[in-house]
């Protein structure tokens, strides 16, 4: 019961802040609304008993991505330019409604073969799955290389000549 109430409140905040982030008049307001959106996604992760991912979500998305977006908004003078939309507005609405309708139809009519009573995943299960003998150590190293390449590339592209 408590889980259900938490899920409904979090989904309302999530969808509302996402719509405001798309529709806000100024770009800096949508960047701050994006922070609320990320926070409620972290709450949704907690209702799915993924506490580690919720913490990572707050650290990576709010601590890095949102701050980066806000800094870029300030550096590119977007605040006075306003949030204009292009000529694709009505086709975009139709396309998004088609995706949402297709998704709802698929989710409501498919037979999911999993359990109906949810099983939680503890954080130690996640750690053992990542780092044991037949685990994903190579993928962790590749992820570190991706981050390193991204940092070097970002410095190279954004540097003052």
| CA nearest to 120, candidates 42, 45, 57 | 45
User: 121: Cβ–Cβ under 8 A, 6 or more apart, which residues?
Assistant: 49, 50
Choose, by CB under 8 A, the member of 19, 132, 137, 141 that binds other proteins. Answer: 19
Among positions 137-156, residues that touch other proteins (CB under 8 A) are 139, 143, 146-147, 149-151, 153-155
Which position among 4, 25, 80, 134 is part of the footprint of other proteins (CB under 8 A)?
4
The verdict on 9 binding other proteins (CB under 8 A) reads no
Give the C-alpha distances (Å, rounded to integers) separating 109 from 17, 69, 102, 105.
29, 39, 11, 6
Residue 13 sits in the site that holds other proteins (CB under 8 A): no
Backbone angles phi, psi at 81, to 5 degrees: -75, -25
Which of the residues 61 through 90 are near other proteins (CB under 8 A)?
Answer: 61, 64-65, 68-69, 72-73, 75-76, 78, 81, 83-86, 88-89
Least distance in angstroms from the C-beta of 100 to other proteins:
4
A 10 A CB-CB count for 34 gives: 22
């Amino acid at each position: 019961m408590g889980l259900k109430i938490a899920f409904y409140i979090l989904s309302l905040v999530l969808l509302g802040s996402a719509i405001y982030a798309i529709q806000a008049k100024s770009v800096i307001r949508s960047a701050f609304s994006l922070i609320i959106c990320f926070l409620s996604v972290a709450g949704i992760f907690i209702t799915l008993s993924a506490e580690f991912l919720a913490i990572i979500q707050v650290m990576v998305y709010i601590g890095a991505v949102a701050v980066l977006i806000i800094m870029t908004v300030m550096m590119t003078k977007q605040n006075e330019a306003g949030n204009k939309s292009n000529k694709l507005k009505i086709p975009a609405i139709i396309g998004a409604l088609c995706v949402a309708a297709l998704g709802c139809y698929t989710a409501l009519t498919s037979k999911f073969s999993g359990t109906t009573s949810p099983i939680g995943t503890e954080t130690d299960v996640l750690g053992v799955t990542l780092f044991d003998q037949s685990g994903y150590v190579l993928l962790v190293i590749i992820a570190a290389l991706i981050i390193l390449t991204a940092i070097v590339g970002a410095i190279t592209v954004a540097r003052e000549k």
